[in-house]
Each structure stands twice: as structure tokens, then as C-alpha cells.
A and B are shown apart, each in its own frame.
Chain A
Amino acid sequence: MSEETLQFRNPEQAEQLADRLEALMVEVDGPVNLMHVCGSHEQAIAKFGLRSMLPDGLSLRMGPGCPVCVTNMPEVDEAVAVANQGAIVATYGDMFRVPGTKQSLADARADGADVEIVYSASEAVELAEENPDEEVVFFATGFETTAAPTAAILVDDPPENFWVLSAHKYVPPAMEVVAEMPDTDIDGFLAAGHAATITGYGLFEPFVEEYEIPVVVGGFEPIDVMLGIERLLEYISEDVAGLENAYPRCVTREGNRAALETMWSVFEKTSGEWRGIAEIPGANLALREEYADYDARERFDVEPETGGPDPLTEQCVCGDIMAGKADPDECDLFGEECTPGNPVGACMVSSEGTCKIWHEYGGHPDL
């Protein structure tokens, strides 16, 4: 493998790490499945060809780590329904082309609905201020790192013509579900550094205790990822379920308390379906009663008659991919009927979707 491909600033360290992984795998003496739960990790892994550096028997799976991918089709349908009722729907660019049952927001816009892409929750509020005679609905997606900002704008007294359609998700309960899936069989989790910036890594303590699975919070640079893997293997070889922060420059034990307080003052956990994975208790974030006046689900008819989904989507294995059971190239549609230009499933849409990333970088590059 060329140094160029790796782009490590310190190739010696990288090689040392790779050797260390080999040695640890000999100690473990058996196959190891690690899961990361972050699209940004998958990007680093695919872009820098890290899988080709891993020893035999060590498999690195992508979990439900991309908020765009785990947004369920009916949630997209809700946003489309709101747009088709004449409201301006504002959403992050990543959500724009995610297919709903009948339409994506992009399709709705092509048909005349007003859908705007915003890069922040505050831009959605500005849109409402600039259009006082219109109703503006922010289709809010993402994990803790975007839920806290959504909460911040709601506590900041947004205008009356502004609503939030929350599809925010909360990762830890999803990790529990994946940890319990018998056919997934995960030996260690590489947790997402950015979400942990908000939640703190202490959040994973009960998880580690209960499931006896090691968790390492890792950063996003290739060497960070390798280091996270090394830490996990170390625990596995010692048969210890430990928790470690391998990303101390961004993540603390307590996380960002101000952000957490704001988030929990606005949102509460509810049960919700994650695309293709399962109904997960406590893994969706719904607006609390106090914010019902801003809840788009109270104001609009969000339960459109959609009929059945496109038959092609039945062949989409996004759910299995996010549960760590399949790789994109196991999907019959991958790169054929389903491409970034014409996505069938959500994993092909977002820049953090596994299929999109694999399409771009080739997944398992043979370097």
C-alpha cells in the first residue's frame, strides 16, 4: 500500500499500529467483528483504504451511524406531505434526495412544492422571519450534534410561523439493539467522536457494563481510527469490557452540559422505527409537550396515504447494512439500479451513507 493512499502524517506510526493489530489478532485467536457507528468513520476508513490494512479475521462493520440513512421512509413521507400542503420545508442538504415511499423532498420540489436547503437550524428560523406570511417547517434530522442546535433555536423564541418536524435520533439505544442482534455478533464498538462531544463518553458506561462489550470513542483521522481499533483489540484480547476515550481533544467524560441541558429541555425520548433496523425504544427525539406549539405534527396532516413503496426498494438492504449484517456490494442494486445520481435507498444518498461511500471509494480496495 502506498503512503499516498494512506496520507498518514506519520506512516511509521501507522505501520507500527498495523503490526500491533496483527499481533493482537494472534493473541485473540479467532474472528473479531468491530462496529463503528459513524458515517464520518466510514468515510475515513474508505477514503484511506484502512480495511485493506486490517489483519485477516478482523472485520470492521458500519453500524447505524448516519442519521440520514436511519431516517425512516415514513418520516420522509411526513416531510413531503407537509411540503405538499403548501408549507415551506427547510432541511439539511443530505435529506433532500432521500427517497420516501412515493417521493423525496427533491421530487416534491420538482412538482412545485417549496423545499429549501439550509445548513443550520438558525437558517431555517431566518427563513420564517423572512417569510412572515408563509408557514415554515424545519425537517430536523440528525443525532445529538444537530438535535442540540434544534433545541437551541426553540428555546430562543422562534417566530410563530415556524415549526419543527423532528426526525432527530439518539444513538445509544440503537447500539443496544445492535448489540443484542444475534446474527450481528459485535465484539467492540468504535463510538462516534462528534456525538460524544455533546454527550460525553461517560454515557457509554452503563452500556459497557450491561453488554460487556468494549467501547472506544475514536476520532476521524485515519490514525485515530486505527488507534481506536487497536484499543478495542487490546480489550478483546484481555477479555475486558472497557470504555476509553481515544479522542480526548474533542471529547470529555461529561460532554457539553450546556448543549445537553438545552437538548433535554426540548426533546424527550420516544420509541421509533430506524430505517431497516427495528423499532427502537427511546431512540427517537420528540418535542416535549411544552413545545407542542412548534410541533409540525400538531399543525399539519402528516399521515398521507402513500400506498406501497416502489418495488425496487424491497431489494434494498440498507437495513442489513446498518445492522452490520451486509456490505453494500452484497446488494443486487449496488452500482447498477442504485447510484448516487439515482439512489434507491438512503445509504446511497448521504455523503455519510455506506453505499455512497463505497461507491465513491470502492469499499474494500485491493491495494
Chain B
Amino acid sequence: MCLGIPGEILEIDGLTARAEFWNVEKEVRLDIVGDEIEVGDYVLNHAGFAIRKIPDDDVEETIELYESLLAGDEDEALEEIGATDATLEFGDRPTAVDSPEGTKTTTIDGIAQRPEAGSRTVREEPTEKPERDADE
């Protein structure tokens, strides 16, 4: 129930969209994705709902990661998108238009390097503090 799966938005009708996950098409809801979504965007789908728009620059990498992680576990990926009667075909995925070859980055560029500037929050308060949810 837990693995979010990246898919490409093919068609949008209000809060419902059709997305393609490898060669499988499924409906996803856009209610809580929190971003403007357009046809051609990639979203992380979790239990039928898009929970995040994958930034254009990260699309290729994200897809590759999932292919490597899911290889051999296709059934589980299918279960995740509710298409157990289909087959996933890794590797023959259309390349994302917005992420040209060359923007691809690896997770780490060297061990000594911190993962991403700004992603550390060790007692260094960010300039602007996001509002917290009332319940937090």
C-alpha cells in the first residue's frame, strides 16, 4: 500500500486524470496533489491519488530509480496502481519531454558532498519559517 509510483498525465478532466505507468493506463485523482498539473507532467501516485508533481528535472532519474527498485517486483507495482491484470514493461517508457538528456543527476556526486544545499536544517533556522499546520 505504500510505494508511490511515478506516472505521466495523459488527460485531465477536473480532478480526475488518466496517467500512464509504464504501458499501463490508470485513473488518478488530483485532489491533493497541491500543484497545477498539466498533461505531460509526471506525478507520484499513491493509492489512486497523485501526492506530488515530480519536478521536471527529476523525472528521468525518478523513473530509472523505480525501474531498478521494482525490477522483479512488477506485480507489486501493479498492485499499487490497481492493475493486476496488466503487465508492466520497464525500459520502453517514453522519455519525458521536459527533462532533456543531460539534466540527469545522480543521488550523490561523491561521498563527502552534502546531498543538497539547503536540505539541512540543523539548528540553522531558515530565513522564512513556513506556517505550521494547526495540528502540528
The answer to whether A119 and B81 touch (CB under 8 A), given A156-B31, A194-B3, is yes
Residues from 30 to 63 in B contacting A, C-beta threshold 8 Å: 31-34, 44, 46-49, 51-52, 54-55, 58, 61-62
Q: Which A residues touch B133, using CB under 8 A?
A: 260-261, 264
- Answer yes or no: A64 CB below 8 A from chain B CBs: no
The answer to whether A259 and B122 touch (CB under 8 A), given A219-B107, A248-B116, A250-B44, is no
The answer to whether A244 and B115 touch (CB under 8 A), given A250-B52, A268-B135, is yes
A219 CB to nearest B CB, Å: 7
- Answer yes or no: A142 CB below 8 A from chain B CBs: yes
Say yes or no: A149 contacts B46, CB within 8 Å: yes
Smallest Cβ-Cβ distance to A209: which chain B residue: B123
Residues from 81 to 112 in A contacting B, C-beta threshold 8 Å: 92-94
- Answer yes or no: A40 CB below 8 A from chain B CBs: yes
Smallest Cβ-Cβ distance to B83: which chain A residue: A119
- Answer yes or no: A223 CB below 8 A from chain B CBs: yes
A255 CB to nearest B CB, Å: 9
- Answer yes or no: B101 CB below 8 A from chain A CBs: no
A248 CB to nearest B CB, Å: 4
Q: Tell me the complex Cα distance, A249–B135, Å.
A: 26
The answer to whether A246 and B79 touch (CB under 8 A), given A9-B68, A152-B49, is no
Report which of B33, B71, B82, B132 forms a contact with A119, defined as CB distance below 8 A. B82
Residues from 277 to 293 in A contacting B, C-beta threshold 8 Å: none
Smallest Cβ-Cβ distance to A267: which chain B residue: B135
Report which of B32, B72, B106, B126 forms a contact with A149, defined as CB distance below 8 A. B32
The answer to whether A149 and B134 touch (CB under 8 A), given A119-B48, A246-B119, A259-B51, is no
Q: Tell me the complex Cα distance, A156–B48, Å.
A: 15
The answer to whether A7 and B68 touch (CB under 8 A), given A66-B2, A146-B46, is yes
Q: Tell me the complex Cα distance, A351–B132, Å.
A: 33
The answer to whether A194 and B33 touch (CB under 8 A), given A249-B62, A256-B52, is no
- Answer yes or no: B76 CB below 8 A from chain A CBs: yes
Q: Which B residues touch A17, using CB under 8 A?
A: 108, 111
Q: Tell me the complex Cα distance, A143–B64, Å.
A: 26
Say yes or no: A122 contacts B29, CB within 8 Å: yes
- Chain B facing A: main interface SS: loop
Q: Which B residues touch A121, using CB under 8 A?
A: 47-49
- Answer yes or no: A33 CB below 8 A from chain B CBs: no
Say yes or no: B1 contacts A220, CB within 8 Å: no
Q: Tell me the complex Cα distance, A142–B48, Å.
A: 14
A79 CB to nearest B CB, Å: 15
A247 CB to nearest B CB, Å: 8
Say yes or no: B79 contacts A93, CB within 8 Å: yes
Q: Which A residues touch B115, using CB under 8 A?
A: 227, 231, 244-246, 248
Smallest Cβ-Cβ distance to A170: which chain B residue: B135
Report which of B65, B111, B132 forms a contact with A219, defined as CB distance below 8 A. B65
Smallest Cβ-Cβ distance to B109: which chain A residue: A13
Q: Which A residues touch B106, using CB under 8 A?
A: 10, 13
Say yes or no: B1 contacts A9, CB within 8 Å: no
Q: Which B residues touch A38, using CB under 8 A?
A: 2
B45 CB to nearest A CB, Å: 9
Given pairs A93-B1, A149-B47, A248-B116, 15 additional interface contacts (CB within 8 A): A47-B72, A66-B2, A120-B48, A122-B49, A145-B46, A220-B69, A244-B115, A245-B115, A245-B120, A246-B115, A248-B115, A248-B119, A250-B62, A258-B33, A259-B34
- Across the A-B interface, the 5 shortest Cβ-Cβ residue pairs: A120-B48, A119-B82, A258-B34, A242-B122, A259-B32
